A and B are shown apart, each in its own frame.
Chain A
């Protein structure tokens, strides 16, 4: 089967750095997406990785290792508004998106 694994919940402190991991086992690979979703709202696109390495976008960075089936989302200088769920999704060889259950990130002052 195909699956995406992410931690269910993480807690971090305002101003700190947090890394959210995502491991995947899919039939082929055509890219990995990270989305942010505040409770009761729409997921919003954060980043896309298709080649190995680090993609940086302001306070957010995303890393991919295709050989290890592994990605992480790095959030720096955490703000209270970063409290949300972070969804990892992989596009497989059929261009279907397989979604992880999401990681709920709680930011404490």
Chain B
């Protein structure tokens, strides 16, 4: 089945540690996105990529980094510079055409130890 796979489902980070969240899709979608979801707030865009080897900062990119070396993969690293990383992280993808809806992975819940 085609879809978006995020791993792990739950992740714990120690203070000062970098962690990487995985996002893989086999939908052959060009565009991929990372969002952060906090209680009582809308989804906030961290980074997005329209094509391999290219990505742009979203609204809250500080403290995060990404790479897009392959079409299928868009990993997100939460660095120690992100002071409030506890949140639910969602990865999404969509075909290149603008009117298409985004498809989401099941999310990774990150907590601080």
Chain A residues with a Cβ under 8 A of chain B: 4, 8, 30-31, 33, 35, 40-45, 48, 50, 87, 89, 91, 95-102
Option from B99, B101, B107, B109 in Cβ contact (under 8 Å) with A42: B107
B101 touches A33 (CB 8 A): yes
A100-B99 in contact given A40-B107, A43-B90 (Cβ < 8 Å):
no
Q: List residues of B (58-113) whose CB comes within 8 Å of A's CBs.
A: 88, 90, 98-99, 101-107, 109
B41 touches A42 (CB 8 A): no
A99 touches B42 (CB 8 A): yes
- Tell me, in angstroms, the Cα distance from A53 to B109 when the chains sit together: 38
Chain B residues with a Cβ under 8 A of chain A: 4, 40-45, 88, 90, 98-99, 101-107, 109
Residues of A within 8 Å of B88, CB to CB, are 40
B43 touches A42 (CB 8 A): no
Expressed in whole angstroms, the minimum distance between the Cβ of A25 and any Cβ of chain B is: 14
A42 touches B90 (CB 8 A): yes
Residues of B within 8 Å of A43, CB to CB, are 43, 90, 104
Expressed in whole angstroms, the minimum distance between the Cβ of A29 and any Cβ of chain B is: 13
Expressed in whole angstroms, the minimum distance between the Cβ of A53 and any Cβ of chain B is: 17
CB closest chain-A residue, reference B59: A96
A42-B105 in contact given A31-B99, A48-B99 (Cβ < 8 Å):
yes
